[in-house]
Amino acid sequence: MKKSKSGESQRRVLGFQILTTVAFIIIIFVSILVVVFNSLSKSSSVLKKKVSSLISTIDVQMEINIDNYLKTIENTSTLVFSTEPVYNDVVAYQYDPVKDKYDEYDKIQIEDAISNKLIELSLMENYCDFAVVYSDEHTVGKISKGTTSVYENKLYDVMKDVVTRQRTNDGWFSSNDDEFVRLYYAKRLNDDAILITSFYVTELESIFARSENMSDMTIRLVDSSNTMIYSSESEEIGNTLSLDIADLIQSQDSAIVTNNSYIVSVGTCGDDWKIICSIPTSVVLAENQETRRYTMLVGFFAILLSVLAVAIITKIMSRPVRNIVDNLNIKVDTDLLTGIYNKMTYQEKCEELLTQETDKNHSLWIIDIDNFKKVNDTMGHAVGDQVIVGVAHILKNAFLENGFAGRIGGDEFSVMITLPDKIKPCTENYEKYILSYYETVKRDIEAFGKTIGYNVTLSVGTSCEKISSAELFKLADKAVYYSKNNGKNQLTFQHKMQ
């Protein structure tokens, strides 16, 4: 009987031990799950924010690029408004064969002269069309077969409706009626004449180029009806934006939006068009998901080892997430092409430096590459990118010890220098100090230009007042414009302009 009671007691003790162990394991297991899921949930949120910021930065750069490209087209078109007569006293943009009567011979001579002028202008870019269409539907200049076949006998009526901007008498139009989707620009010359310009959307590929580390991001350019004028997924061009993306951004002109499916940045450009950069959330969090599975597996073994082991392993598992965030910090802070600070980060660094080092004196440079468009036009965008990267590298190395550089525009850079205590701003010693740096940079730039077979020069403006960062930028910007307008390839001190 005693043996039976003893065995029962042992069984109860064993049962209690098992129950206590199970309860302990459950408590530790639940605690680990709470810690792990909270940690990874937070890391996912941070990761989304960093990627959102990165995509937004890219979107802004794309807006600048496409606006500059469209502005180039518009500026080329304004050259048609030259007041120099093309034949006798006839000016090209005033020529109106519909209202005015011309001798047949004169009409042929005038239109030949206008056509030659338009064809000459069209050589400045890779245009499909560069011509004038009159209200009687006859054209002068370069008209492609694709445009003729799609808009036969209705080209003027179509382009008339494209001219929607009253102030400038022009407008943009995307067409997907032909085999190759084109962009049209129309500008009214007179009551019966409209200048039309078009190019294939494939010309935009260099503008919307993605870096390798953002290859999963899709870049789209859509018009006001959500028709995709351009997409990095070429098969989408000409189609309507998918409902899941359209519903996400709705009617917003500038925003960053996220949900469980996408991270999307939208910005406006051109003629009420939108640039939409999107990346699937699953792609962003893919590495984080791998980390989650691995953490749970290690957590299971941590239950058997001890609470201390759980704490150590949890810390170890946080390292991949920190590495992801650190890498994204670098990508968000730097210019993707050159590796130096981008505009937003550079301005923040300048503001931070001036706020923290009030006892120090500083010099702000703004540097503009002279005739950079000529590099792209004559040697191609690849060499243009090489020039941008080369200049950035030279500036970074030149001011590594006492300053830092940033890219603040397409071909525009800036440098912030902390002056030695013995150098006082806007003095003769200051000018000698700055000129020594400038001569070094100029010499390195000349050597770099020889390696690529192009004479690269810089226009520089400097400011050195004890004022805010924003005011320093304004003064330096004024100085660099003085350099550019007075021969280029020179340094202008802001204080000497006053």
Q: Residue 182: phi, psi to the nearest 5?
A: -125, 160
What pairing do the DSSP bridges indicate for beta strands 255-258 and 262-269?
antiparallel
10 Å Cβ neighbour count for 211? 11
To which H or E segment does residue 431 belong? Answer: helix 428-452
Cα three-residue angle 219-225-230, rounded to 5 degrees: 25
> Per residue in 166-214, pLDDT tens?
899 999 888 766 555 788 999 999 999 999 999 888 888 877 777 766 7
Per the listing, tokens 């005739």 go with 371
- Does residue 315 come out as left (phi exceeding 0), alpha (psi in the -120 to 50 range) or beta? alpha
Q: What is the DSSP letter of 395?
A: H
Residues 139, 156 contacting (CB under 8 angstroms): no
Long-range contacts of 179-187 (CB under 8 A, 24+ apart): 179/146, 180/146, 181/229, 181/237, 181/238, 182/128, 182/146, 182/147, 183/229, 184/129, 184/159, 185/70, 185/73, 185/74, 185/77, 186/159, 186/162, 187/74, 187/77, 187/78, 187/80, 187/163
Q: Residue 215: phi, psi to the nearest 5?
A: -65, -20
pLDDT tens track, the chain, 498 positions: 334 444 454 566 566 557 656 666 677 667 666 666 665 566 667 666 777 777 778 778 878 888 888 888 889 889 999 889 998 889 999 999 999 888 999 999 999 999 999 988 888 777 889 999 999 999 999 998 888 888 888 999 999 999 998 899 999 888 766 555 788 999 999 999 999 999 888 888 877 777 766 778 888 888 888 888 888 887 888 788 888 888 888 878 778 888 878 888 888 886 678 888 888 887 777 756 666 666 666 666 666 665 555 445 544 544 544 444 444 445 567 888 999 999 999 999 999 999 998 889 999 999 999 999 888 888 888 999 999 999 999 999 999 889 999 999 989 999 999 999 898 888 899 999 999 999 999 999 999 999 988 899 999 999 988 888 899 999 999 999 999 999 999 999 998 875
d(CA 361, CA 425): 7
Position 143: which residue type? I
To which H or E segment does residue 404 belong? Answer: strand 403-407
Q: What is the DSSP letter of 240?
A: B
d(CA 413, CA 325): 27
Collapsed DSSP state (helix, strand, coil) of residue 1: coil
d(CA 478, CA 369): 16
